[in-house]
Amino acid sequence: VNAVAIVPAAGRGERLGFGVPKALVPVRGTALLTHAVRGLLDAGCVRHVVVAAPPTEVEGTAELLRAAGLTAAVVAGGADRTDSVRRALRHVVEIIPDARVVLVHDAARAFTPGAVIRSVVAAVAAGAPAVVPVLPVADTVKQVDPAGTVLATPDRAALRVVQTPQGFDTATLTRAYAEAGDSATDDAGLVEQIGVPVATVPGHHYAMKITTPFDLAIAEFILSAGEA
Ligand code: CTP
Ligand code: MG
């Protein structure tokens, strides 16, 4: 199965603090978005990529990817990540009406191993309507009240941290975006809201989300480890 991948890249990267959108921040001289799109196309199971860029950067983003030798469509993103994905999904359905499997990735998870991408696509192809890559939780997690006082300690063994790309049967994701309420911090959250089960596959530490300057240092390490 050949999937279509959506890459929301329209955020401002405020926590990274580079003064440019995070997707354009270079790691070893190459923009995070370029690393992310190349990773998807190199996985061998993605036939088309649709990027949601900051509305003022659509042409520049398209040029950046072209210059890197990558083929991708670029659309204008929205006010939040959900809105950016919604716009890109609309484009996917328009230009590739027969796309059966859609991935939603993050430009900020630029170093996700190909094996993770392939296992998400394989699980959707095998019949799961929604699939997320996950890792076990290493730290104990507390639930707190607004004052910071601990309310409960959920059983860590039953918790997972969630990564991307998240994979979906295209009809399921389209319905989730049409029917679910607006707020979810990931795409699978919208699918859960419409009562569709979400399966998990093993993620990888390299699929970490690059949010802070500390994360960027880790990303440099990942890239140098890959080259070693
Ligand atoms: N994103 C998007 N459209 C938005 C906001 C975010 O496409 N309006 C994308 C980001 O570009 C990123 C992913 O969603 O690839 C995850 O968001 P996050 O890590 O929060 O990135 P930023 O919003 O860029 O960072 P910050 O919140 O620090 O400004
Ligand atoms: Mg953000």
Map out the domains of the chain as residue ranges.
3-227
pLDDT on residue 59: 96
Cβ of 54 closer than 6 Å to ligand 1, yes or no, is: no
Q: Is 50 in the pocket of ligand 1 (CB under 6 A)?
A: no
Pocket test for ligand 1, best of 12, 75, 85, 214 (most atoms within 8 A of CB): 12
Q: How far is the CA of 107 from the centre of ligand 1 (A)?
A: 8
Average pLDDT value for the chain: 95
The owner of tokens 């027969």 is: 98
- For the entire predicted model, the pTM comes to 0.96
Out of 3.40.50.360, 3.60.15.30, 3.90.550.10, 3.10.110.10, select the CATH number for domain 3-227: 3.90.550.10
| Residue nearest ligand 1's atom 5 by CA | 11
- How far is ligand 2, taken at its centre, from the CA of residue 186, in Å? 12
SS3 200: strand
Paired tokens of 159: 């918790």
Read off the pLDDT of residues 47-83 as tens digits, 9 standing for 90 and up: 999 999 999 999 999 999 999 999 999 999 999 999 9
Consecutive H or E run containing 74: strand 73-76
How long a stretch of residues is the chain? 228
ipTM of the prediction greater than 0.90, yes or no: yes
Where residue 4 falls among pLDDT bands split at 50, 70, 90?
very high
Residue 73's CB: how many other CB atoms inside 10 A?
Answer: 18
Helix %, strand %, coil % of the chain (to 5): 40, 20, 40
- The total of other beta-carbon atoms located within 10 Å of residue 225's CB is 10
For the segment 148-183, what is each residue's pLDDT rounded down to a tens digit? 999 999 999 999 999 999 999 999 999 999 998 877
